[in-house]
Amino acid sequence: YHFGGILADDMGLGKTLQVIALLTAFYQEKTEQKAAGNEGSGSELPLPSLIVCPASLVYNWGQEFARFSPGIRVLLIAGTAKERQEQLEEQMRMEASEGAQVIITSYDLLKRDREAYLGRTFEYEIIDEAQVIKNAKTQGAKAVKEISANARFALTGTPVENRLSELWSIFDFLMPGFLYTYQRFREEIEIPIVVNGDENRMQRLQRMIRPFILRRLKGEVLRDLPAKLEENVFAKLEGEQLAL
């Protein structure tokens, strides 16, 4: 049905690995269908998928694919503007059977390279650390929402950090219009819940989003872990740091 969803597991429970498993299964199935010569659209080679993440995680994603699914062809978009342009142009020239199945880039580079992505469609668009787009007005949020994809998923351990508008922005990426326009969402759901403590509106929102959020907590999965330990460590500033 081309629905999207949020994978909201606690940090450390393998959101990256779950996505790699999803994409690997998808591309293996399509490749096998093509090899078997099945008729119909199911036998066509699939489009590539796009993963967007913070810049610090681009190479980490590449390493995880190499470790857990080395058979998937991965392209990391990095380097200068000229180098990135050449990478994307080369990808477009290649046959579907030879080009990358998964393209990985950062929010910042997607924003800069947006023209190169417009007019293309991806099988999956997956955004990591999706709280990056919690403000729907930012250029980064607008950039990921401009991408055409058959299905979209968001990974974040914190789908709501401060206000319900952040949840709306992520759903606006996943399934535009599902939580209405922001104005309607604010009037019918956000204000009644936040200002008036309306329990009925809260339950309404929960019913709407529950089918599209998967969330596990460490305590539910790793029961042998001790409770979180917090320790305050004070660092004395000296020299230039203290002066600054």
- Average pLDDT taken over every residue of the chain: 92
Closest CA to 13 of 212, 223, 226: 223
| Chain centre distance of CA 57 | 12
Output the pLDDT for position 2: 80
Query: Which pTM value belongs to this model?
Result: 0.87
Distances (CA, A) of 51 to 80, 106, 129, 155, 177: 19, 8, 11, 11, 22
For the ranges 2-6, 107-111, 179-183, 220-224, which has the lowest average pLDDT?
220-224
Confidence of residue 17 (pLDDT cuts 50, 70, 90): very high
In angstroms, what CA-CA distances link 128 with 26, 131, 174, 176?
19, 8, 13, 18
Using the 8-state DSSP alphabet, how is residue 49 labeled? E
Beta carbons within 8 Å of 66's beta carbon, 6+ residues apart: 74
Look at residue 170 and tell me whether its pLDDT is greater than 60. Answer: yes
- The pLDDT of 76-90, averaged and rounded, is 93
Q: Which 3 state secondary structure label does DSSP give 151?
A: strand
User: Which among 24, 114, 9 has a CA at the least distance from the CA of 71?
Assistant: 24
pLDDT at 201 over 60: yes
Amino acid at 97: S
Residue 40 binned pLDDT confidence (cut-offs 50, 70, 90): low
- 31 has pLDDT over 60: yes
| Segment 206-216, tens digit of pLDDT | 999 999 999 99
